[in-house]
Amino acid sequence: MEWLIALAIGVMTACGVFLTLRPHTFSVVLGLTLLAYAVNVFLFAMGRLTIGQPVVIDATATGYADPLPQALVLTAIVIAFGMTAFLIVLALKARSELGNDHVDGLHISNKKNGARR
């Protein structure tokens, strides 16, 4: 089972890096979101989740689940949501200002000619 989780984290990270390096802003936003998901799964996997154990330690509990990975992932989800919302607004503003969604503001056809729009 560990190899399946490691493979999922690796695939999400590879796809996230690939999409982040694409020339269009929507691909960059999707790539950063995939990287955030990969980090969240990595934090869960490193936390060694235990099933059926309480998170809060009381006097009768023989074992407990570590609450730190859950708290870290919850915080990461909130931060990733805020980052994604900001990037989408930034991409929409850049598209309205430049007229295209290319990362550096150039069309592919104009890039060959060296002309800026």
Residue 39 bridge partners (DSSP): none
In terms of pTM, does the model score above 0.85? no
Encode pLDDT of 81-116 as tens digits.
Answer: 999 999 999 889 888 888 888 887 666 555 555 555
Q: Return mean pLDDT, the chain.
A: 83
Query: Residues 6 or more apart from 70 whose CB is under 8 A from it?
Result: 47, 55
What's the pLDDT band for 2 if we cut at 50, 70, 90?
confident
Given CATH 1.10.287, say whether it is the number of domain 2-113: yes
Give the start-to-end residue ranges of the domains of the chain. 2-113
Own/partner contacts of 18-26, CB < 8 Å, gap of 24 or more, are: 23/102, 23/103, 23/104, 23/108, 24/101, 24/102, 24/103, 25/87, 25/91, 25/94, 25/95, 25/101, 25/102, 25/103, 26/91, 26/101
